Amino acid sequence: MSSDLFEKLPMEGVKNIIVVASGKGGVGKSTVAVNLAIALSREGMNTALVDADIFGPSIPRMLGIEDAQPDVSAVGDKEIFFPVKKYGISIISVGFFINRSQSLIWRGPMAGKAVTQLLEDTQWGDIDYMIIDFPPGTSDIQLTTVQKLNLNGAIIVTTPQEIALNDARKAASMFMNPDLKVPLLGVIENMSWFTPEKHPDEVYYLFGKGGGLTLAKEFDTQLLGQIPLVMEVGESAEQGLSVFSQKNKKVVDAFEQIAEKIINNDPGK
């Protein structure tokens, strides 16, 4: 059934909506989504970040805002949420509304409805780029979001090894489905190589080489960037810090270049 038959959420004031997806967990998709949003904000864009991983919301922790509580206002019989702000971005996550140790046990359609509510009932204001961090895989959450929003495109995150590529292909194929027709903006290859801090001239391809480019070619899209494996990235996420606070400029440069490509609307530039 064509997604054109579904009533779209108006999302007034939001100019561009981009989803960040992966076929499997553990590839750093949320890390990419968070730091891409921050990079866009640093380029002067009004940026929003939506944590659509209902079952495992990680963005509040990654940004050091686990204890934040969005302001809520009643408008008639409806509650309106106001996003939490950090690093210049507007953030909403189901993680703000549940106990940190609480696990959600929802059937697929309920999870999809929860994401729709977060999107529809949040007062976003004027937003240049909204980044939506999808959960891994292809579930009701992804399908509902794709059907309910006018998306400008999707970004696929993968690591270089073949097993990750196989799962990433499934995620990319979902967006390429003729009934969904979501443009693929490109592929981001995470954990592309490792360079020891004390030996900056050495490069080790721990998970193989060239996987991101292979996937991009298969789906006739661009390799937006390659993010090296840096221990500081994971450590910073645990502390609620962005990659832009780190000494390793290769990671910073990678995200800045990806953001510039997206803003220029020319992933091949």
pTM of the model: 0.90
pLDDT, tens digit, 9 for 90 and up, residues 155-179: 999 999 888 899 899 999 989 888 8
Mean pLDDT in the chain? 86
Q: In sequence order, what E strands does 113-201 have? A: 127-133, 153-158, 184-194
User: What 3-state DSSP class applies to 47?
Assistant: strand
Task: Delineate the domains of the chain, giving CATH numbers in brackets.
Answer: 3-263 (3.40.50.300)
Q: Which residues of the chain have pLDDT under 50?
A: 1-4, 105, 108, 266-269
pLDDT, tens digit, 9 for 90 and up, residues 43-61: 999 999 999 887 778 899 9
